[in-house]
Structure 1
Amino acid sequence: MSTGELLGINLQELQFPYLLFSKLVQQADNYVAFKVKTTNPKKYCVRPNTGVVLPASTGNVIVTMQAQKEAPPDMQCKDKFLLQSVAASPGTAAKDITPEMFNKESGNHVEECKLRVVYIAPPQPPSPVQEGSEEGSSSTASVSDNGSLNASEFTSARSRISKLAEEKNAAIQQNKSLQQELELLRRKDRKAHNGIPLVYVILVG
């Protein structure tokens, strides 16, 4: 964290490629006006680029880099930012800030903090998973660090899956057979209840 008599900033450098959120910490007991400058204003968007930090409070500054058509060579950048701060009168608002307030030649005590820009390379995509050898291949591979199966284990797994599928089909067929037998018994039972009792026939005869 860079600190001064007036403002402290929680950064040593500006790292891109995306969006940067910076916090300005009030170091003094009075109003502090600040202004942010850059060596490449067309490339960056600073909001707000001027403002006032009240006593015992903090201020937020968001720096966004505009979209670039191509990555810079070697990810090197010579852009810099300059944070200027100056003591302001009580009750000063952002609309009251003028360029003369940051003019050292006028005798104003202007505190400055320089920040350089550092590009951050985007994260590398994960390497594609290498396909295992097909069944019957003579090459053998050990288990990789990420836990993937080698060729022999893959073949063994396929064999177990095939066996389980056969057992499942056999169980389904057995279940169907039991259901058919149960239905046949139910039909016989219904016929027995619907017929004339044997005792009744004997009595009538």
Structure 2
Amino acid sequence: KVTLQSQKEYPPDMQSKDKFLIQSTRVAASTDMDEIPPDTFNKEADKVIEEMKLKVVYTLPSGSSDDSGVTSSANRSFKQGGDDLSMLKNASIEEIQTIQRLKDERDNNLQQNQQMQRELDMLRRRRSRKGDAGFSLTFAAFAGIIGLLVGLLMSLIFSSPPATA
């Protein structure tokens, strides 16, 4: 388990792009951890070096409901030499694959949602531009009524007085 220092700002979707590369190889049983030579992980023909990439996953500390800390769990043990199949500390490979698939689906859905939102905004802008172009029917009717009233007034003013007998 690796604990990272608390970040000032968490990623908005709580996803990290950080990864770890874990390498393993066989060494002599008498080798001390502090005495491992630097060329131990050099890839040579007679050496078998296994590699595993781990993604960082942010989780809230257990028993806490606030964002006071971020923990990166690398709860993965891996196959070494002739050992048994890879195992996870608290989850099976199927569970991890399911979680990863669901995260990928969620990310894909978020991306589609953002694309649809952009398209909707673009359509709204187009519609508002079309509404501004030309005269509206209300304006044309109002201008027509004013024209009729002006015409009626002019005909009354300039008409000849009625003939008296």
TM tier relative to shorter chain: 0.3 to 0.5
Q: Which has the higher helix share?
A: 2
TM-score by length of 2: 0.34
Q: Which has the higher strand share?
A: 1
TM-score by length of 1: 0.28
